[in-house]
Copies of this chain bind each other. A is one copy, B any other.
């Protein structure tokens, strides 16, 4: 009952593909969007809400849980699944992204990263071995190698960081002791095609059961992201799932599924929801706008989510303006339902041979919005 990726169908006109990930906690149909549960909870949603909106897998952040409540507490409470009340598949990231984005003071050396907690300023050190040990304590079904996520345009820094990311990937592979967790290697390389290619080849050579693609969607132009994705995917084995870290707008999901990505995680749908921005087929609405003050329509007419079935834009706007928690809950519920439904429709279209049609129709009717986090 371990990890297995089953490739089911490929699209005739693109690299898009439909698959099924088997884990000991259940199945993940791909392409899949993974809601982010940073601190062992997806913000504003319970596990039953996640089931209701169609989540098959949830991500939690190793960096955050390492600092609070600590892996030891989670072990004593029976592991992360039991701790957070989610009995489906779980993925933990390595903490690499947070180490390089959240912590003010950090020092990187060949062996690991020394950093100060963003919570209380206390000093900590994470090495590849430690990151694997922590993720083994947490017990997610899919875990990630420690990687370094550098500024994408800086060539010299990217070369240096990539050497560390590669050495750390090999050490993570070595450090793994549990046989029931799938360890993914992570490809980096900034916006440099040769570095991306070298990274994908090196990481693929370590024979991981799946591959993460990091360091994209961090400020580079869209065309660069697409180019890097194409270069990378070409060098990865077809029989392993590919996880693109940190991407989650409807347009990006289409563009990246088209380029052969199987899994995504991103705070975007949940974060913008908490700012009052909601997803619709034609683009984003910001419910804070005065225009919705007495709008009796749901966010999306015909949407099957609890929010759209029961509440008007006017009521949601009222809740958000009044600072009510239920407002955050209802917009988050809708945005995740919308995103997960989009993934289901993509998968069905790939299986039915109509992915290009779906993609064309969706993107033609959808107004692109800069992903500024709402």
The residues of A with any CB-CB pair to B shorter than 8 Å are: 39-48, 68-69, 73, 76-78, 83-85, 293-294, 296, 306, 310-312, 314-315, 317-319, 321-322, 324-326, 328-330
A47 lies within 8 A of B314 (CB)? no
Taking a contact as CB atoms closer than 8 A, the residue among B48, B77, B311, B326 that contacts A312 in the complex is: B77
A329: B residues at CB distance < 8 A? 44, 46, 325, 329
Min distance, Cβ A166 to any Cβ of chain B, angstroms: 34
Inter-chain contact B306/A48, CB cutoff 8 Å: yes
- Kindly name the residue among A41, A310, A326 whose own CB sees the greatest number of chain B CB atoms within 10 A: A326
Residue of B with least CB distance to A312: B77
Q: How far is the CA of A312 from the CA of B319 in the complex (A)?
A: 30
- Residues in B whose Cβ lies below 8 Å from that of A83: 312, 314-315, 318
Partner of A293, one of B73, B294, B317: B73
Taking the nearest CB of chain B, how far is it from the CB of A311, in angstroms? 5
> What CA separation (Å) do A311 and B314 show in the bound complex?
34
In the complex, 30 of the A-B residue pairs with CB atoms within 8 angstroms, ordered by the A residue number, are: A39-B324, A40-B315, A40-B318, A43-B324, A43-B325, A43-B326, A44-B329, A45-B326, A46-B306, A46-B326, A46-B329, A48-B306, A68-B318, A68-B321, A68-B322, A69-B314, A69-B317, A69-B318, A69-B321, A76-B294, A76-B296, A76-B314, A77-B314, A77-B315, A78-B296, A83-B314, A83-B315, A85-B310, A85-B311, A325-B328
> How far does the Cβ of A324 sit from chain B's closest Cβ, in whole Å?
5
| Contacts A68-B318, A83-B312, A315-B83 given; does A73 touch B294 at CB 8 Å | yes
Task: Compute how far the CA of A45 lies from the CA of B325 in the bound complex, rounded to whole angstroms.
Answer: 8
Q: Flag if B85 contacts A325 (CB, 8 Å).
A: no
Contact B330 A46 (CB under 8 A): yes
Is the CB–CB distance between A77 and B324 below 8 Å? no
B46 touches A314 (CB 8 A): no
When C-beta atoms are compared, the residue in chain B nearest to A67 turns out to be B322
Q: Which of A41, A76, A328 has the most CB of B within 10 A?
A: A41
For the complex, what is the distance from the CA of A73 to the CA of B76, rounded to whole Å? 51
- A310 proximity list for chain B (CB < 8 A): 47, 85
Report Cα–Cα, A83/B317, bound state, in Å. 11
A43 proximity list for chain B (CB < 8 A) = 324-326
Complex-state Cα separation, A39 to B45, whole angstroms: 21
Cα(A306)–Cα(B73), bound, Å: 23
